[in-house]
Structure 1
Amino acid sequence: MSGTLAQLYETIDDIEIAMMTTRRPDGHLRSRAMATQKPAPGADLWFVTCDGTSKLDEIAHDPHVNLAYYRDGNREWVSVSGIATISRDRAKVHELYASDWKAWFPDEGDPRHGTPDDPRMVLIAVQVHAAEFLEIDKPRPVLLYEFVKGWLTGTEPEFGEMHSLASPHRPAGA
């Protein structure tokens, strides 16, 4: 596979929400919306959640996750497979903290609530194993033309360029 982590970051940079899929202990898959945090050392992708949530139990049981991103404006999509770990590192919480986290960690009587010192804040670190994404650099009218052309001719529309990213943490094919 070819590609770089920088291409992945560039593609998801302005997609605010990822659908994170975990595996429940009974084997069934579960997805939920999660906000990707700013890049920081220690993981390829970071997320924040509240301690005690089922997603943390699911990651502890099986750390394999999938992250799906979709940009409605031009139909670009990204699928990321990775290994998630749970971090309660307060220094990393301080490093990643954003003021909008307060909305997800309301004040329940503790002066630390909603601040970077909130003990309920837990990080999910994801190391990317592989990613695939469709990069579209065509204007909407051209995309519509490609769709109609494909439908009329029975050929696959040419929407954009597919990219694959091998893990930056292990050799391709491993």
Structure 2
Amino acid sequence: MASVQQRPTPGTFGDKKPDQYAGHNPDVELSVKDKIDGLLAFMKHCRYGMMTTRDTSTGLLASRCMELAATESNGTDLLFFTNTHTHKVDELAHDPHTNISFVNHVGEWASIAGSASVVTDRDLIRKHYKSTLRAWLGDLGDGRHDGSAEDPRLGLIRVRMTTAACSISGKGLFGTVKDVVTGAMSGKAHEVAKMRELSQEEVDKWRSSEGASS
């Protein structure tokens, strides 16, 4: 019988953790407010994130680029415009679990896990509508499907955050490169950015608070 190779148990490398990057860079001193504010600022600066869904026919994961339209519930709900006649809408109806990830040109990133729902509230759509959406939807020439805020194809995907993690340094490209080079020369995990995590408990508590603006 062929032997099965077991993964090494974390913490079995003497006094060193196997994941030196995560172990070296946790940011445990920030308040929930600071973590939320930093996450929101980063997402809004990036604007575009990758939304991951599960294909209904194959079970495989698929991602596509989405532009952040707005946030709600103290920043814990994310809104993205969508054409409601798309595969991703069908996929989210079948399995609402999703992940949204953002990354910038220096490798800073954010990852949001949550559940999604499709919203067709016309007042909410009008509130966040931008004229550039018309070019994306197109005008079918029937006087109704014209790419406007009244186009029945236009909806919003609301992602309700469950947990989040991000790695943001604010050092810029040259500062990041310097830290990477220093880490490579010393053999130690480089402190490029601090790892910040938001637990489900923290997210739920913040969602119901009045301490942050959406």
Alignment of 1:60-79 (within 5 A): 60-72=93-105, 74-79=106-111
Corresponding pairs, count: 170
Distance in 2, Cα, partners of 1:41 & 1:170 = 11
Q: Give RMSD over aligned pairs.
A: 2.1
The SS at the match of 2:89 is helix
Give the alignment partner of residue 35 of structure 1, picking from 67, 80, 89.
67
Distance between the aligned counterparts of 1:36 and 1:142, measured in 2? 28
Tell me which protein shows more strand as a share of its residues: 1
Q: Distance in 2 between matches of 1:39 and 1:155?
A: 38
Residues 17-96 of structure 1 mapped to structure 2, 5 A cutoff: 17-25=48-56, 26-40=58-72, 44-72=77-105, 74-96=106-128
**Stretches of structure 1 lacking an aligned partner (at least 5 in a row):** none
Uncovered stretches (5+) of structure 2, i.e. residues with no partner: 1-27, 207-214
- Deviation (angstroms), 1:105: 1.3
1:39 is paired with a residue whose SS is strand
Work out whether residues 87 and 123 of structure 1, in 8 Å CA contact, stay in contact via their aligned partners in 2: yes
Q: Give SS of 1:86's match.
A: strand
User: Please, which moves more after superposition, 16-25 or 1-10?
Assistant: 1-10
- Of 113-122 and 38-47, the range deviating more from structure 2: 38-47
Corresponding residue number in structure 2 for 1:124: 157
Which residue of structure 1 lines up, in the alignment, with residue 173 of structure 2? Answer: 140
Alpha-carbon distance between aligned partners in 2 of 1:170 and 1:63, rounded to the nearest angstrom: 22
Kept in 2, the 8 Å contact 1:3–1:164? The answer is no
* Cα distance per residue 1:37-79 (max 9 Å; x no partner): 022459710011112200011100110000110111x321011
CA gap 1:28/1:170 in 2 versus in 1, 3 angstroms: farther
User: Using the alignment, how far apart are the partners of 1:41 and 1:146 within structure 2?
Assistant: 36
2:9 is matched with none
Letter in 1 for 2:187: G
Offset, 1:134: 0.8
1:6 deviation in Å? 2.8
Computing the radius of gyration from Cα coordinates, the structure with the larger value is 2
Partner of 1:16: 47
C-alpha deviation, 1:162, in angstroms: 1.3
Aligned twin of 2:32: 3
Instruction: Confirm or deny: 8 A CA contact 1:3 1:166 kept in the other structure.
Output: no
| TM-score when normalising by structure 1 | 0.88
Cα distance in 2 for partners of 1:146, 1:29 equals: 34
**Conserved 8 A contact 1:66-1:82:** yes
Q: Is the 8 A contact 1:46 1:125 kept in 2?
A: yes
